[in-house]
Amino acid sequence: MECVKLLKSLAFDRVSSSLSIAFKMLDCVINLCGKVDFKPFVENIMNNQPSMSVVLSVGNRVLVAKGCSEITKIRDELALSESQAVNEACNSLKGIRNIATISYSSSVLESLKLIQPSRVYLSVSHPAREGEKLAKELSELGMDVFLFEDSAYGLIVKNIDAFLIGADAVFDKAVVNKIGSLYLALLAKEFNKPFYVIANRFKRLNDKLKDQYRIVGMPNREITNLNVNVINVYFELIPMEFVNKVFSGGL
């Protein structure tokens, strides 16, 4: 079945946003509900995507849901929460002309569609090049996009009005996002630029799920084949002291 195949692939998706993976998982579970035992697939996704809080939050609720209608309700809640976060970001940032971001965030994408900035600046985001994916989608929408190498934000920081990033998890003292996000936060502080995060309420983990959350190392071969020590992680912590505001929908 197509949904079974998709659920298997979501466990190893390294390019799609965490929100996109969560919605795809929910859509497949709703499709399979009452016909196929989907719980092993959901557990596999959670085990293989431990850095994506929305996947953990949604997956945990799906596993204990009492019936198909409750799973549909979870999807509706996620969609509403995301819409509220995007609208809050839009209402706060409408009129900002030049925005920089990083990686691929569907929340950032939807916000930029509404904000309609004059220019968007972002890096390629190695090794999976998900920033290139976002640049392509924004360009196809008619936006003026500047794409560059991951370490080149210093070249454009004086040209921008604000940073806007997504988040893979939100904690009391930090947010988690794509590696390189802390560099952006430090640049924002040094050059006195506002640094905003958009993350719906499903990305804030409860105490139980905090224990399941972890940032994992990725294969050395993505960086090099040399016989040297390699540090390859996709996510990092950005302390809240660098964040001007987290747009979560006001909840």
Q: Is 40 buried (19+), middle (13-18) or exposed (0-12) by CB count in 10 A?
A: exposed
For 96-112, what is each residue's pLDDT tens digit? 999 999 999 999 999 99
> Are the CB atoms for 50 and 56 separated by under 8 Å?
yes
The predicted structure's pLDDT at residue 251 = 53
Q: 21: burial class by Cβ within 10 Å (0-12, 13-18, 19+)?
A: buried
Instruction: Express each pLDDT in 141-175 by its tens digit.
Output: 999 999 999 999 999 999 999 999 999 999 999 99
Superfamily of domain 2-82: translation initiation factor eif-2b, domain 1 (1.20.120.420)
Which of these CATH numbers, 1.10.443.10, 3.40.50.10470, 3.40.50.2300, 1.10.10.2120, describes 96-247? 3.40.50.10470
Give per-residue pLDDT as tens, 34-55: 999 999 999 999 999 999 999 9
